[in-house]
Structure 1
Amino acid sequence: MLKAFDHPRAACDPLSEFLIRAPDARSFRMCRLDRRLVAHMGRHLPAQTAACVMDTFGISINSWVKMREDQPVRRALAERLIMRLKASGLLPESIGDDAAMTCR
């Protein structure tokens, strides 16, 4: 059974709803974005080019590929990305019936 993420800020951090801890990264500062959020982002991406990814989300193509392949990224990057998505209106209200913020 998946449990809620035990990050100290998780209880009060609304951004953490879309992040998943990455225990295989061996670092507290790493996480994964929920696959449903990444799929949602992919639907809003006009092309899979470095320029398009940077213009649309403000991240590098390397970061996008890591997220798309469900690999860990820096938590700070993920938090900034979620804030940008929210500011641009691309962040969905909900990404599913169950909570996205889960441990593996």
Structure 2
Amino acid sequence: MKISIAEPADGHGKILVIGFEPSFQALEPTRQGEVFQSFLDTLSKNIAAINDPADRNRSGMLIVQQVAEQLLDPIKSGVLALEETITVQIRQESQAVALVDLLRHEG
């Protein structure tokens, strides 16, 4: 998984851009699910290793974790188009893209 952060044109919040490497896309859905679960497990351990709840890196990893957890089931079932880029706009007052709702409508 490739993750980058961009600034939105209006300067409010952040844009999280998520893409998947061709090597991951080439795996069978069952194996993709296993690899992605391993990524989530490692991410969780890295978050737990940071004791300061105000740490910016920890906060960023928590956001990535929340988004990634919502992607696990669609990845396992093979319904997520992994060749596409996923863009999530995050704002302090509200999240501009409700990823959970988007995934519900797709299924």
TM-score above 0.5: no
What is the TM-score when the length of structure 1 is the normalising length? 0.27
What is the TM-score when the length of structure 2 is the normalising length? 0.27
More helix by percentage: 2
More strand by percentage: 2
Higher relative contact order structure (alpha carbons within 8 Å, sequence separation ≥ 6): 1
Rg (Cα) greater in structure: 2
